[in-house]
Structure 1
Amino acid sequence: MTTNLLFLCSRNRLRSPTAEQLFAAWPGVETASAGLAPDADEPCTDELVEWADVIFVMERTHRTRLQKRFKKSLKSARVVCLDIPDDYGFMQPELVALLEKKVGPYLR
């Protein structure tokens, strides 16, 4: 059985694309990423939210935004806040280590 993971940050430029790429190779996992800001590179959609089994948000503000904008689509997905600030570059080793530490336990 495949678990669908959705990673969300503000603009989908650094944190969530890093997470998507990092966990894409994990067995039994499908990944996607999107942003919640109006100018996100890949904006979050109802379809993505409905597709996800687990939604990882980087900050508490993302959880609030997600719950307000996608209330109808957020039926069964578990929402997990990772508390990872916007202080990292794409695929930065410190970000990768933090993601592995915080997301890994949900995938075992």
Structure 2
Amino acid sequence: MNILFVCSRNKWRSATAETIYKNHQEHQVRSAGTESSARIKLNASHILWADVIFVMEKKHKQRILEKFNLESSDQEIIILDIPDDYNYMNEELIEEIRTKVEPYL
């Protein structure tokens, strides 16, 4: 399964999620951000590549649906409700990501 993690700037939350799952045997994982200042900026090919998209906040799903309406029309987009309160690889962030993502894997 191809999994895409999305946050705003792709520096802390989605990058952490990608790092956690990047060596998973059954899944391919990428991450991107919705802001123009993102480390890796979300584009249509990311959306089309993904089998499932995990977004950190509701606003990320809204941005995907607005900007990539055609590409995202058949996509499963799951809101994780993880606020931008953590740094990269923060232990609490890792635990929250795992707790919220694992049921879907």
TM-score w.r.t. length of structure 2: 0.97
Structure 2 residue aligned with 1:16: 14
Structure 1 residue aligned with 2:61: 63
Summarize deviations over 1:77-102 as a string: whole Å, max 9, x none.
Answer: 21000000000010001000001100
2:2 partner letter: N
Identity among equivalent positions (%) equals: 41
Paired residues of 1:53 and 1:76 also in contact (CA < 8 A):
no
> Post-superposition shift, 1:76?
2.8
Structure 2 residue aligned with 1:85: 83
1:68 partner letter: E
After TM superposition, the runs of 4+ consecutive aligned structure 1 residues lying more than 4 A away are: none
Q: CA RMSD in A?
A: 0.8
Structure 2 residue aligned with 1:34: 32
Summarize deviations over 1:45-96 as a string: whole Å, max 9, x none.
Answer: 1001000000000000111111000111114321000000000010001000
Summarize deviations over 1:10-31 as a string: whole Å, max 9, x none.
Answer: 0000000000110112221000
Tell me whether 1:74 sits opposite 2:72 in the alignment.
yes
1:29 partner letter: H
TM-score w.r.t. length of structure 1: 0.94
* Number of matched pairs: 105
2:37 partner letter: D
2:54 partner letter: F
Unaligned regions of 5+ residues in structure 2, if any? none
SS in 2 for 1:27: coil
Structure 1 residue aligned with 2:5: 7
